[in-house]
């Protein structure tokens, strides 16, 4: 597991950290994590679902030539340790830290920490047909709120960043269709 040092550190957010980081930072800017795509393949038993009915949240899947747009946050030196303790707790449901090069919006490249839920973790749900993932998202709720809210907030945040993420946007569209009652005729 990657560990931050006592210097200021960068962390990359590609899911809820984009719109709700929940920690102090010196700067935030859009960034690219090369070689990965965002997918709703991780189970959420502790935030957007419960053990009996897990929700689905995003993780990163390696893919040659891919570029995942998210937010990079520069943490103040004095908060690095406590911030990563908080993030370790927040991402405890199967996520591990990795170090990776981030391509910042300002043209710089920095080393940053990224939380990724890999295939071998206990909460990993993996690939499924998008309509099944959408149904699971619509019916799941946990201590942090409804899973649909997570999907909608992520889609809004990605649009604000100018991201092109067909996986997220198609799931959003499918989920809206599930929530829409049939027209009375």
Domain spans, the chain: 9-179
Query: Residues with Cβ < 8 Å from 184, sequence gap 6 or more?
Result: none
Work out the burial of residue 73: count CB atoms within 10 Å of its CB; fewer than 13 is exposed, 13-18 middle, 19 or more buried.
Answer: buried
Clarify whether 101 is annotated catalytic. Answer: no
Q: What pTM value is reported for the model?
A: 0.90
Each residue's pLDDT tens digit, 40-96: 999 999 999 999 999 999 999 999 999 999 999 999 999 999 999 999 999 998 999
42 burial type by CB count under 10 A (0-12 exposed, 13-18 middle, 19+ buried): buried
The mean pLDDT value for 160-181 works out to 89
Q: Which of 85, 91, 153, 172 is catalytic?
A: 91
pLDDT > 80? residue 3: no
Q: Which of 53, 25, 57, 51 is nearest to 12 (CA)?
A: 25
Domain 9-179 fold: Hypothetical upf0131 protein ytfp (3.10.490)
């Amino acid at each position: 597991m990657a560990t931050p040092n006592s210097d200021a550190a960068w962390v990359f957010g590609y899911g809820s950290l984009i719109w709700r980081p929940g920690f102090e930072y010196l700067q935030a800017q859009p960034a690219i994590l090369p070689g990965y795509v965002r997918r709703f393949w991780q189970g959420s038993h502790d935030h957007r679902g419960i053990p009996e009915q897990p929700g689905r949240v995003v993780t990163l899947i390696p893919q040659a030539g891919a570029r995942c747009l998210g937010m990079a946050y520069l943490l103040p030196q004095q908060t690095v340790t406590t911030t990563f303790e908080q993030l370790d707790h927040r991402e405890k449901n199967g996520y591990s830290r990795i170090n990776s090069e981030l391509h910042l919006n300002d043209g710089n490249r920095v080393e940053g920490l990224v939380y990724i839920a890999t295939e071998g973790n206990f909460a990993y749900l993996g690939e499924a047909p998008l309509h099944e993932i959408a149904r699971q998202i619509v019916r799941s709720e946990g201590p942090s709120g409804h899973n649909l809210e997570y999907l909608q907030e992520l889609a809004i945040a990605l649009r604000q960043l100018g991201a092109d993420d067909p996986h997220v946007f198609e799931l959003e569209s499918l989920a809206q269709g599930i929530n829409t009652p049939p027209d009375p005729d």
